[in-house]
Chain A
Amino acid sequence: MVGRGRDTYGDRRASRVVAVTTARRAGRPGALWGLVFGATIAASATTYTSAFPTAASRALVARSLEGNAGFEALFGPIHRIDTVAGYTAYKSGMFAVILAAIWGLLIATRLLRGEEDAGRWELFLSGRTTRGRAAGQAAIGLGVGVVALWLPTAVLTAAAGGGSKVGIGVGASLFFAAAIAAAAAMFMAIGMFVGQLAATRHDANLIGAGVLAGSYLIRMVADSDAALGWLRWASPLGWIEELRPLTGSSPLAFVPIVVLVGALVGSATLIAGRRDLGTGALAREEAPRSRTLLLGGQAGLTLRLSRPAIAAWLGAFAATGLVFGLVAQAAGSGLRGSPGIERAIERLGATRAGAASYVGFVFLFAAGLVAIAVAGQIAAARNEEASGHLENLLVRPVARWRWLGFRLALGAGLVVAASAVAGLAAWVGASSQDTGIGFGDLLVAGLNVAPPAVFVLGVSALVFGRWPRAAIGFAYGLVVWSFFVETIAAVFDSNHWFMDTSPLLHITPAPAAEPDLTAAAWLVGLGLLAALAGIALFGRRDVVGE
């Protein structure tokens, strides 16, 4: 006779396990990102009050920046920048929104599609739930992650806003945090949805990254010319801009955001309930022709597996460089006669004014993007090890140093190629606008952003060689920290020890200044040494899984 166990949990409570587990795994990183965003916003607000203490200095900033197409294309529309709130929204808004969107996308694909790929999702589904219900429960869990991100962002913003010199109201602070959290929510929903369409988490991430890049480019074009402003409504990131947090709070733009999230979560839940586990709704040909191209060894395999990501990054840098070049002339003209902004750019090392100054400034941010691409290479290497795929190579005659060495060489190659592509594309854009900046100058400006990324690659490889489980967090953390320091340094006369912690601040804003070859050599040299140390350490440690 079959014994009857005591029914400790009812069906409803049992199915909540998915929501609770997902909430736990999304809530912790969400709260951490919220702390980062809150601290960045608080730092932006308080530094503005110190850097621009008088009404006259603020008016000067406003005169030069408001309506500056180049800066608006890069960081979003500039409203009421002569106020602490306006400056804070402009300075930290786009930064936080982009990072929140990336986090939202990655956490959603990880906790749904990633769990499915790893076979752990089946454990949930073997319990008292269905595929559709489990997906819906996971969406609730992800929602908890959004709240966890919103809360510290709102609290820290409100706390900083309460200062007498800052004066940002509690309501405005909550609204600003909600705008950032909305970006995370939208891209979580996108991640959830594309996770149902794609065959693997990797594919889902690529599709999601494409949506994010497309969304960013559309808003970039929309913000570069007032006549194209309507295009913002065609981009999820544009909707966030239309919310106008801290500069006029327009909650109407929440409507398309809520509709998008609702539609995507609903569709994802529906598809999850109908498709077979382990497959994508966009069914692929599962008996494809065998293609052995690049499968002759570990190097070829690495290249083959990295091709989609490399192509996506190069495309993104070509598009970004082109937009930089197209708006350089207009942006540069706006900068003339603006001592405040020119001083900010001078702090970062610029000696030339006008379009060159603008290009030099935005290329410092491009340096950060190249570093993100490089951090992705470290993440790919670690994931190859954690998933167990690497063992298939290392139990055959493949030397560890050769595998990691090739991976790092590929990363370095990506850095050089991305930098050159950004420079070339900027030249194509700039030459159509008669900026007077030559091909050589822009190619050098592009290549000038490579050394910090090489440094990030090298030190991250060192961490990978010694503490593999910390490598991904370190690589991305270093890039985020560098952005943060760069942001502070642009508005503040900072301590040089503090500034030195950002590899991005060791290069000059070429073509607004001559490239600092000595600093570049140091960055590349140290990166190379660290990479060699990382390779040596990797050869002497255990291969470790997740």
Chain B
Amino acid sequence: MDAAISTHDLSKLYGTTEALVGLNLDVPPGEVLGYLGPNGAGKTTTIRLLLGLIRPSAGRAEILGIDCQDEPVSVHRRVGYVPGEASLWPSLTGSETLHLLGRVHGRLDAAYRDALIERFEFDPTRKVRTYSKGNRQKVVLIAALMSRAEVLIMDEPTAGLDPLMERAFRECVAEARDRGQTVFLSSHILAEVEALCDRIAILRSGRLVEIGTLAEMRHLSALQVEAELDGTVPDLSRVPGVSAVQVEGSRLRCEVTGSIEPLLALLSSAGVRHLTSREPSLEELFLSHYGADGVSSEARIDGG
């Protein structure tokens, strides 16, 4: 089956700045893809290219087999978009805005719209200029969801929402996935991505550095191991896959990539009193690409 979203060597340059470089991505129908990266990594650039708001410097993008640049209107008929910052007409009311956006889109499930208004506890009677950031975000969320578009593209969609509304949002995305809608979710909220997404793509400095399911990523990543031994900790330098070794008396902390068996065999011979191993969280996976301070390891190397 054709991909719902696919990009081929998609690139965007602003002068000499590489906003996005050679992005190759396929999102199958019905999948929720989490799109991660720090500020300036190229997430919004990707989304603006998919929506045809900006022109690629090279490559192309397709949504449901339709070229995003050549036939943007055909693409938009089948896409719902949630921007990270809702910029709406201040003189219209919430309901007028939803009416307008529904009519412009051409697809509107009025009953679902009313249900969404209730679920997000949104008051549509007030002028947009009086809304808080969270309420303006609800307008664009409802507008995108009520279209029941085949593909939903979301750029930091929960910015400004309170935890209760964030939960309502997660339910909506889960329902969309159950209905077979494809969701492209760019987010900084790792718990949200971890909870909702089938696969995760990680972007760094305009380049895709990792894509896969969370399980795949964990499998490829180091296991965190902590052990307390009966005696002294043996020399681990020859054990394959072991790194980041920290020894404190009879306590050991290290990371293991690949099979853990050689390490277990060595530790067993030394006498294990206590041992725990843990897979990395998405946050740890994410930070392993950028460092705890949010600066990419590549940038740190370049800078240092």
* B76 A542 Cβ-Cβ under 8 A: no
Within A295-311, which residues are at the interface with B (CB < 8 Å)? 295-298, 301, 305
Within A108-136, which residues are at the interface with B (CB < 8 Å)? 117
Q: Which of B54, B96, B124 contacts A291 (CB 8 A)?
A: B96
In the A-B complex, the 8 residue pairs with the closest CB atoms: A388-B87, A542-B54, A295-B100, A395-B81, A543-B53, A290-B95, A396-B105, A397-B77
Q: Within 8 Å of chain B (Cβ to Cβ): is A389?
A: yes
Q: Within 8 Å of chain B (Cβ to Cβ): is A398?
A: yes
- CA of A396 to CA of B76 in the docked complex: distance in angstroms? 5
Nearest-neighbor residue (CB-CB) of B14 within chain A: A542
* A397 B105 Cβ-Cβ under 8 A: yes
Residues of B within 8 Å of A, CB-based: how many?
Answer: 38
CB-CB under 8 A from A393, the residues of chain B are 104
Q: Within 8 Å of chain B (Cβ to Cβ): is A540?
A: yes
Chain A residues in the interface with B (C-beta under 8 A): 117, 199-200, 202, 278-279, 284, 286-288, 290-292, 295-298, 301, 305, 387-389, 391-400, 540-543
Q: Write 20 A-B pairs (CB below 8 A) sorted by A numbering.
A: A278-B130, A288-B93, A288-B125, A291-B96, A292-B100, A295-B99, A295-B100, A301-B89, A301-B100, A305-B91, A388-B85, A392-B87, A395-B76, A395-B79, A396-B101, A397-B73, A397-B77, A397-B106, A398-B76, A543-B48
B71 to chain A, nearest CB (A): 10
Known: A199-B129, A290-B93, A396-B104. A389 touches B88 (CB 8 A): yes
- CA of A312 to CA of B48 in the docked complex: distance in angstroms? 37
Known: A397-B106, A542-B55. A392 touches B125 (CB 8 A): no
* B87 A391 Cβ-Cβ under 8 A: yes
CB-CB under 8 A from B167, the residues of chain A are none
Known: A278-B129, A288-B127. A391 touches B53 (CB 8 A): yes
Task: Add 6 more A-B contacts to A290-B96, A298-B104, A397-B105 (CB < 8 A).
Answer: A200-B90, A286-B130, A288-B125, A292-B96, A297-B104, A398-B104
B150 to chain A, nearest CB (A): 13
CB-CB under 8 A from B54, the residues of chain A are 542-543
- CA of A279 to CA of B99 in the docked complex: distance in angstroms? 25
Nearest-neighbor residue (CB-CB) of A395 within chain B: B81
- CA of A397 to CA of B62 in the docked complex: distance in angstroms? 16
CB-CB under 8 A from A305, the residues of chain B are 89, 91
Binary A-proximity of B88-122 (CB < 8 A = 1, otherwise 0): 11111101100111011110000000000000000
CB-CB under 8 A from A399, the residues of chain B are 72-73
CB-CB under 8 A from B103, the residues of chain A are 295-297
CB-CB under 8 A from B48, the residues of chain A are 543
* A542 B53 Cβ-Cβ under 8 A: yes
Chain B residues in the interface with A (C-beta under 8 A): 48, 51-55, 72-74, 76-77, 79, 81, 83, 85, 87-93, 95-96, 99-101, 103-106, 124-127, 129-130, 140
B188 to chain A, nearest CB (A): 20
Known: A278-B129, A288-B127. A392 touches B88 (CB 8 A): yes
- CA of A542 to CA of B69 in the docked complex: distance in angstroms? 11
- CA of A296 to CA of B74 in the docked complex: distance in angstroms? 19
CB-CB under 8 A from A540, the residues of chain B are 55
CB-CB under 8 A from A278, the residues of chain B are 129-130
A463 to chain B, nearest CB (A): 19
CB-CB under 8 A from A395, the residues of chain B are 51, 53, 76, 79, 81, 83
CB-CB under 8 A from A279, the residues of chain B are 130
- CA of A29 to CA of B26 in the docked complex: distance in angstroms? 50
- CA of A391 to CA of B53 in the docked complex: distance in angstroms? 8
- CA of A388 to CA of B44 in the docked complex: distance in angstroms? 14
B265 to chain A, nearest CB (A): 50
* B83 A391 Cβ-Cβ under 8 A: yes
* A392 B101 Cβ-Cβ under 8 A: yes
CB-CB under 8 A from B127, the residues of chain A are 199, 284, 286, 288
CB-CB under 8 A from B87, the residues of chain A are 387-389, 391-392
A513 to chain B, nearest CB (A): 45
